[in-house]
């Protein structure tokens, strides 16, 4: 999204208004019938657990939320379908026919490291409107945050080597392919194999050849020569169709020498099967002995952060990685688990007085944080590193000119006083009474923001196994409110 008025091309041609769980419609109809449709409500979108037992996640998908909310209109076809169900009142169908989005929305910008239970996105507005948008908000944020989080782990495992997203053909549908490419780029992947992602989102598209190219010719050498003739300055050859060391690399070297004689330098070779650590080391030796020290070695084939890390530990001579199915499906843990919960609602007597709401459960992890809230990140003033996130009631101010006490909500005796810190609100306004007010960054700016913000998170939080638990705090007024509601309802 290049500016605040430009729609994402990936969604612009489709009416996605009806992409919602059916119960949102039945509840909305019921709200209207019970004179609660215009009741002011507040919903939080948050997640409960970082995938892969990691220490952090990456916020993504906000652009698609914005596009959806900007286009939110019920068509004649939508209304005809709903009328055919014989469940909805004519008053409700008339309401939908005249629908206009008027909610306030705040969100954490894309590319920001995020942590469990903090409000990633907050909606305040009429109950019907806030309810109807639930599914699409969750769909957009859950999917892209999941893929961005996985991509971030994979990019970190590569230790500065480029990672290309290669997973379109294994993605869960065509939208899954396109938006996985977008999310992967936010989190640091250098490009994608998906051409549509470059057309619509300017994610650099990359690719060379498949084994079918080699097989189509009478010999591997002929196939390499034909490709080099078409792309003499972008010549990367796939060397594992038959035998990497006996034929693939030697034939590639032959063609590279022919290119060099014509004034061209080869780009690289790609290994897509076999013992990649061993083969890359043997290939590196052969290439270097032939005078092609600048020729890059690309590895692909069902890679993830753990396999990449192991390859590098084994001394693999790999310059970049192509990662497919285990990235675009987040195969190791394919669910992000974001939820959308009512946290406050106005009384009938006073539409501006938001009464805190809480959901209780015997599963402690499912007990929500009540009230209209926001979230702050506290940074060490000297190092710039993130110290903790604090969820507060919306009218609270964290004054970073004064000492501030953070404490663990589960162990209130564990307190720490901060004195030299900077407090920053993470959420920013996106819509005010339905009017889009956000100055949206470009995808490249989101990617840069992600890299910069990840640098503020300690490496101990970012490690793959047993990461250090990042400090998440409830402000004392919020903690007391939650305790009060717990005592009230558990006493019933």
- Sequential pLDDT tens for the chain (492 residues): 444 444 444 445 688 999 999 999 999 999 999 999 999 999 999 999 999 999 999 999 999 999 999 999 999 999 999 999 999 999 999 999 999 999 999 999 999 999 999 999 999 999 999 999 999 999 999 999 999 999 999 999 999 999 999 999 999 999 999 999 999 999 999 999 999 999 999 999 998 899 999 999 999 999 999 999 999 999 999 999 999 999 999 999 999 999 999 999 989 999 999 999 999 999 999 999 999 999 999 999 999 999 999 999 999 999 999 999 999 999 999 999 999 999 999 986 556 789 999 999 889 889 999 999 999 999 999 999 999 999 999 999 999 999 998 876 555 556 789 999 999 999 999 999 999 999 999 999 999 999 999 999 999 999 999 999 999 999 999 999 999 999 998 775
Compute CA distances 188 → 38, 50, 161, 172, 316, whole Å. Answer: 43, 19, 11, 21, 22
Give phi and psi for 151, each to the nearest 5.
Answer: -60, -40
Q: Which domains does the chain have, with CATH numbers?
A: 9-147+333-490 (3.20.140.10), 152-328 (3.20.20.70)
Q: How many CB atoms lie within 10 A of CB 299?
A: 25
Q: CA-CA distance, 241 to 222, in Å (whole number)? A: 13
Q: What is the largest CA-CA distance in the chain?
A: 86
**pLDDT at residue number 489:** 86
**pLDDT at residue number 408:** 62
**pLDDT at residue number 266:** 87
DSSP-derived pairing of the beta strands 354-356 and 338-346: antiparallel
Residue 158 near residue 308 (C-beta atoms within 8 A): yes
Q: How many CB atoms lie within 10 A of CB 19?
A: 12
Residue 420 near residue 432 (C-beta atoms within 8 A): no
pLDDT, tens digit, 9 for 90 and up, residues 287-322: 999 999 999 999 999 999 999 999 999 999 999 999
Q: Which residues contact 296 (CB under 8 A, 6 or more apart)?
A: 236, 267, 268, 269, 319, 320
Residue 287 near residue 249 (C-beta atoms within 8 A): yes
Two structure tokens written together for 50 = 């970082």
For residue 379, the surrounding DSSP H or E stretch is strand 373-380
DSSP-derived pairing of the beta strands 163-165 and 320-323: parallel
DSSP β-bridge partners for residue 376: 390, 425
Residue 8 near residue 71 (C-beta atoms within 8 A): no
Q: Which residues contact 452 (CB under 8 A, 6 or more apart)?
A: none
**pLDDT at residue number 416:** 83
**pLDDT at residue number 362:** 87
């Amino acid at each position: 999204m290049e500016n605040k008025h430009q729609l994402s091309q990936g969604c612009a041609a489709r009416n996605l208004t009806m992409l919602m769980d059916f119960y949102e419609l039945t509840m909305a109809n019921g709200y209207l019938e019970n004179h609660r449709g215009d009741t002011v409500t507040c919903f939080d979108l948050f997640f409960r657990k970082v995938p892969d037992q990691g220490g952090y996640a990456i916020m993504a998908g906000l652009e698609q939320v914005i596009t959806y909310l900007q286009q939110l209109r019920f068509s004649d076809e939508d209304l005809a379908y709903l009328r055919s169900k014989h469940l909805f009142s004519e008053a409700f169908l008339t309401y939908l026919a005249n629908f206009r989005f008027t909610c306030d929305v705040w969100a954490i910008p894309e590319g920001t490291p995020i942590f469990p239970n903090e409000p990633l996105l907050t909606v305040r507005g009429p109950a019907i409107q806030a309810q109807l948008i639930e599914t699409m908000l969750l769909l957009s944020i859950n999917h892209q945050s999941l893929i961005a989080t996985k991509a971030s782990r994979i990019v970190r495992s590569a230790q500065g080597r480029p990672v290309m997203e290669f997973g379109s053909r294994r993605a869960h549908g065509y939208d899954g392919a396109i938006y996985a490419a977008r999310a992967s780029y936010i989190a640091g992947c250098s490009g994608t194999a998906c051409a549509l992602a470059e057309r619509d989102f300017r994610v650099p598209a990359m690719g060379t050849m498949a084994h079918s190219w080699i097989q189509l010719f009478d010999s591997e050498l002929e196939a390499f020569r034909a490709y080099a003739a078409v792309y003499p300055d972008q010549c990367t050859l796939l060397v594992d169709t038959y035998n990497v060391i006996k034929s693939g690399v030697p034939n590639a070297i032959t063609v590279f020498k022919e290119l060099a004689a014509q004034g061209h330098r080869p780009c690289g070779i790609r290994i897509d099967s076999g013992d990649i650590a061993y083969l890359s080391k043997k290939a590196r030796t052969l290439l270097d002995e032939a005078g092609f020290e600048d020729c890059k070695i690309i590895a692909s084939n069902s890679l993830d952060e753990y396999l990449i890390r192991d390859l590098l530990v084994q001394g693999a001579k790999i310059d970049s990685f192509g990662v497919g199915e285990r990235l675009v499906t987040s195969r190791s843990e394919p669910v992000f688990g974001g939820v959308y919960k009512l946290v406050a609602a106005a009384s009938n007597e006073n539409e501006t007085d938001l009464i805190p709401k809480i959901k209780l459960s015997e599963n402690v992890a499912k007990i929500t944080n009540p009230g209209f809230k926001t979230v702050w990140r506290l940074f060490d003033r000297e190092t710039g590193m993130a110290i903790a996130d604090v969820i507060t009631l919306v009218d609270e101010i964290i004054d970073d000119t004064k000492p501030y006490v953070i404490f663990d909500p589960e162990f209130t005796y564990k307190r720490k006083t901060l004195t030299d810190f900077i407090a920053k609100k993470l959420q920013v306004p996106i819509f005010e009474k339905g009017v889009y007010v956000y100055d949206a960054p470009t995808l490249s700016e989101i990617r840069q923001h992600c890299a910069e913000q990840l640098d503020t998170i300690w490496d101990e939080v970012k490690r793959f196994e047993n990461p250090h638990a990042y400090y998440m705090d409830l402000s004392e007024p919020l903690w007391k409110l939650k305790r009060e509601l717990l005592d009230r309802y558990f006493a019933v």
